[in-house]
């Protein structure tokens, strides 16, 4: 049985989270779970009368070029020890995605535990996330001139509101409700925030940090800032900690590389290699996305150049995981795609146009700016004449997406 989550399911749902290692039986588990699910759409699956699968999605907005489109984040897919390899999680996940689409989400995103599982629901990889570990003493930023405000879990809403007002670029996502931010601050019982308010007492820029030991490395989990000056001030805050903290782990901010703010980064990497504060760089793709509403997503594409039109034979792998009574059946079928200053996707076929075929996975990657038609023609299932592939890649010039919100 797949059904909406109810308060009576709390105990069995917590058991799932503890079995998979996301919680460890602390008194705060209930508060974390309730914050994490607050404002989301939660589904559960029963096996022998017990809740054994839990899935939650959260609504929000994703910036595509200059406009926001509605999206849904698959925030959690949790399966107990006794429900593995039975297909239950797949059915619940597919239904949750279908409900998101029926409720108006034009695209879906998620953070994957490993590449492979979510492809069967039509998801494709986004772009690598680059995380650097560096000594804050090497930051080439001005000396901090004022003291930041100390932030805690009690400031979760203020931090969430600040995150939603942050400077966003193509691909930047915002989540509705502040439950996810609140859950993170409770989850990290030793975490802390440092930030600044304006004259009206509104938080304008901040960072949330997870400490480690006396000297670090500290991990910057998320930030919020609207101007470049505010971002530099946050880096100055990190540098102010350098008399005690010898390592900071942080993702590159959108459109920037942390290496540009470091003094002699390569020399530092070599001298600290293999030590407790190894200044390493991790680059890995761990987020995926898929299109849910093709007309909305294609309609958001606006390009300068010679327009192109083609038939698209689209395959959506999620179809086989959806029940027959589902109101949303995926987006597979025949489409006429027109790309240019004004783009559109309409169902049908025009025999005068060239034809391409692909899966939703491949199309989502091209659309989001994560890959090119030429690349997915090699690594995926995109098939078209070479002339059409070249025309698509010449016209579809999308900035590298920066989601800048982990979920």
Which CATH number covers residue 188? 3.40.630.30
Residue 192 lies in a domain: yes
- CATH code of 337's domain: 3.30.1050.10
- Among 261, 273, 268, which Cα is nearest to 231's? 261
Residue 119 lies in a domain: no
- 149 and 268 in a common domain: yes
Q: What is the DSSP letter of 194?
A: E
Do the beta carbons of residue 183 and residue 35 sit within 8 Å?
yes
Residue after which a domain boundary falls, among 269, 284, 299: 284
Provide the pLDDT for residue 268: 66
Do the beta carbons of residue 359 and residue 122 sit within 8 Å?
yes
Do the beta carbons of residue 89 and residue 83 sit within 8 Å?
yes
- What are the counts of helices (DSSP H) followed by strands (DSSP E) for the chain? 11, 19
Residue 356 lies in a domain: yes
Residue 112 lies in a domain: no
- Among 39, 396, 372, 368, which Cα is nearest to 173's? 368
Q: Is the preceding omega at residue 217 within 30 degrees of 0, hence cis?
A: yes
Q: What is the DSSP letter of 389?
A: H
SS3 222: strand
Residue after which a domain boundary falls, among 284, 316, 345: 284
- 190 and 80 in a common domain: no
In angstroms, the CA 386 to CA 320 distance is 31
- 386 and 305 in a common domain: yes
Give the chain's domain count. 3
In angstroms, the CA 324 to CA 183 distance is 36
The residue range of the domain holding 180 is: 130-284
- 274 and 151 in a common domain: yes
Q: What is the DSSP letter of 11?
A: H
Backbone angles phi, psi at 291, to 5 degrees: -80, 135
Provide the pLDDT for residue 137: 94
- 266 and 236 in a common domain: yes
SS3 125: strand
- 137 and 100 in a common domain: no
Residue after which a domain boundary falls, among 56, 72, 105: 105
Residue 319 lies in a domain: yes
Residue 406 lies in a domain: no
Residue 144 lies in a domain: yes
- 312 and 196 in a common domain: no
- 246 and 146 in a common domain: yes
In angstroms, the CA 36 to CA 186 distance is 10
Do the beta carbons of residue 347 and residue 333 sit within 8 Å?
yes
Q: What is the DSSP letter of 327?
A: S
- Among 364, 219, 345, which Cα is nearest to 290's? 364
For 53, half-sphere exposure in the C-beta direction (CA atoms, 13 angstrom radius) is 26
- 266 and 135 in a common domain: yes
Neighbours of 201 (CB within 10 A): 8
- Among 1, 280, 278, 285, which Cα is nearest to 118's? 285
pLDDT per residue as tens, the chain (407 positions): 899 999 999 999 999 999 999 998 888 999 999 999 999 999 999 999 999 999 999 999 999 999 999 999 999 999 999 999 989 999 999 999 999 999 999 999 999 988 889 999 999 999 999 998 999 999 999 999 999 999 999 999 999 999 999 999 999 999 999 999 999 999 988 999 999 999 999 999 999 999 999 998 999 999 999 999 999 999 999 999 999 999 999 999 999 999 999 987 766 666 666 666 666 778 889 999 999 999 999 999 999 999 999 999 999 999 999 998 999 999 999 999 999 999 999 999 999 999 999 999 999 999 999 999 999 999 999 999 999 999 999 999 999 999 999 98
Residue 241 lies in a domain: yes
- 377 and 262 in a common domain: no
- Among 339, 373, 336, which Cα is nearest to 353's? 336
In angstroms, the CA 81 to CA 19 distance is 7
- Among 266, 393, 387, 402, which Cα is nearest to 339's? 393
Provide the pLDDT for residue 278: 66
Provide the pLDDT for residue 360: 98
pTM of the full structure: 0.92
- Among 348, 334, 333, 337, which Cα is nearest to 308's? 337
State the SS3 of 36-65. Answer: HHCCCEEEEEEECCEEEEEEEEEEEEEEEC
- 387 and 352 in a common domain: yes
Provide the pLDDT for residue 273: 67
Query: Hey, what's the torsion of the CAs at 5, 6, 8, 14, to 10 degrees?
Result: 30
- 149 and 276 in a common domain: yes
Interior/surface letters 264-288, b for 16+ CB within 10 angstroms, e for the rest? ebeebbeebeeeebebeeeeeeebb
């Amino acid at each position: 049985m797949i059904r909406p989550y109810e308060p009576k399911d709390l105990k069995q749902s917590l058991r799932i989270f503890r079995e998979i290692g996301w919680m460890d039986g602390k008194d705060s588990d209930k508060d974390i779970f309730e914050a994490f699910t607050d404002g989301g759409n939660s589904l559960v699956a029963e096996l022998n009368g017990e809740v054994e699968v839990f899935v939650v999605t959260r609504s929000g907005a994703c910036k595509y070029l200059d406009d926001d489109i509605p999206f849904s984040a698959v925030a959690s897919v949790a399966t107990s020890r006794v429900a593995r390899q039975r297909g239950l999680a797949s059915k619940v996940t597919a239904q949750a995605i279908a409900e998101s689409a029926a409720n108006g989400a034009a695209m879906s995103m998620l953070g994957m535990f490993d590449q492979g599982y979510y492809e069967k629901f039509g998801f494709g990889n986004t772009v690598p996330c680059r995380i650097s570990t560096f000594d804050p003493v090497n930051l080439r930023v001005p000396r901090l001139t004022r003291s930041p405000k100390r932030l805690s879990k009690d400031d979760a809403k203020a931090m969430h509101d600040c995150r939603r007002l942050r400077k966003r670029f193509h691909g930047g996502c915002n989540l509705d409700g502040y439950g996810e931010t609140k859950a993170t601050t409770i989850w990290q019982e030793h975490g802390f925030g440092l930030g600044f308010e304006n004259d009206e007492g509104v938080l304008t820029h901040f960072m949330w940090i997870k400490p480690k030991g006396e000297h670090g490395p500290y991990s910057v989990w998320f930030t919020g800032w609207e101007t470049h000056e505010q971002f530099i001030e946050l880096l100055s805050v990190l540098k102010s900690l350098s008399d005690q903290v010898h390592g900071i782990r942080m993702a590159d901010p959108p459109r920037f590389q942390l290496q540009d703010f470091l003094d002699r980064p390569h020399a530092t990497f070599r001298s600290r290699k293999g030590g407790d504060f190894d200044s390493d760089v991790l680059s890995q793709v761990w987020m995926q996305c898929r299109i849910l509403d093709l007309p909305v997503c294609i309609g958001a594409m606006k390009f300068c150049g010679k327009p192109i039109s083609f038939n698209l034979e689209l395959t959506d792998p999620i179809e086989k995981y959806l029940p027959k009574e589902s109101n949303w059946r995926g987006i597979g079928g025949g489409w006429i795609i027109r790309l240019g200053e004004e783009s559109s996707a309409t169902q049908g076929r025009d025999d005068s146009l060239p034809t391409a075929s692909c899966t939703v996975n491949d199309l989502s990657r091209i659309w989001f700016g994560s890959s090119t038609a030429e690349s997915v023609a090699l690594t995926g299932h995109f098939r078209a004449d070479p002339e059409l592939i070249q025309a698509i890649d010449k016209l579809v010039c999308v900035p590298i997406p920066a989601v800048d919100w982990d979920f």
